[in-house]
Amino acid sequence: MRKTAVLVLGVLLLSAAAGAALDVGIGAGYRYQYTFLTDFSTYHNPEQQHTWYLDLRAWPYPLQLGIGVSRVFGFRPTGVSIDPYQMAVLTADYWLLDIPLGTLPLSLHVGAGVWAALPMFTLGIRGPVGLRWTPIPADRGFEVSLEIVPMVGAAITPWPALDYGAAAGLTVRYWFGR
């Protein structure tokens, strides 16, 4: 019992020390998404989403978290257009590659992630691919990011369906601690 308590305390202290040394990037952006909602038999309806979101990254971990509010324009399974509605959107992406492009202030990132949305409960996987630009060489804290994100998922409620498509987004981010 005593060894476990010492081990837990040690892990907590190391985590706190490591957390204090992290660089944290906070960003805001806009994402346009065009998807299709289908059940493979009765409907295949397009949806457009316009999302304003905040994102959070902690370096050196290549994990990016996002939260946003999306305005959705789409159609019912019967094909009749619906009034636009809002959804809350959560994303989590793990960057598998983050490659500088020579001496340019550009880098390429490729990742894998998940997403979820409410109140029309949908969830799925996504594959972000993007470019990051650091326009001010003296200030490595400011960056602009452009992403293309293919995605596939499932709508759970109010009716079960496959949800697939792609999104494109533009983010402006500032890194605190760099």
Distance CA 57, CA 44 (A): 36
Distance, in Å, from the CA atom of 118 to the CA atom of 160, rounded to the nearest integer, reads 14
List the CATH number of the domain containing 170: 2.40.160.20
- Does residue 10 fall inside a structural domain? no
Decide if 129 is inside a domain.
yes
DSSP secondary structure code for residue 2 in this structure: H
Q: How many domains does the chain have?
A: 1
- DSSP SS3 for 6: helix
* % of the chain at pLDDT higher than 70: 78
The SS3 assignment for 25 reads strand
Asked whether residue 97 is assigned to any structural domain, the reply reads yes
Residue 76 resides in a domain = yes
What is the pLDDT, as a whole number, of residue 69? 87
Per-residue pLDDT tens over the stretch 100-122: 998 888 999 999 999 999 888 88
Structural domain that includes position 153: 23-176
At residue 57, what is the residue type? R
Is 13 a domain residue? no
Residue 1 lies in a domain: no
Structural domain includes residue 7: no
Q: Residue 22: what pLDDT? A: 64
Joined tokens for residue 138? 């003296």
List, for residues 47-100, the tens digit of each pLDDT value.
888 888 888 877 667 788 888 888 888 776 666 777 888 889 999 999 899 899
In a domain, 63, yes or no: yes
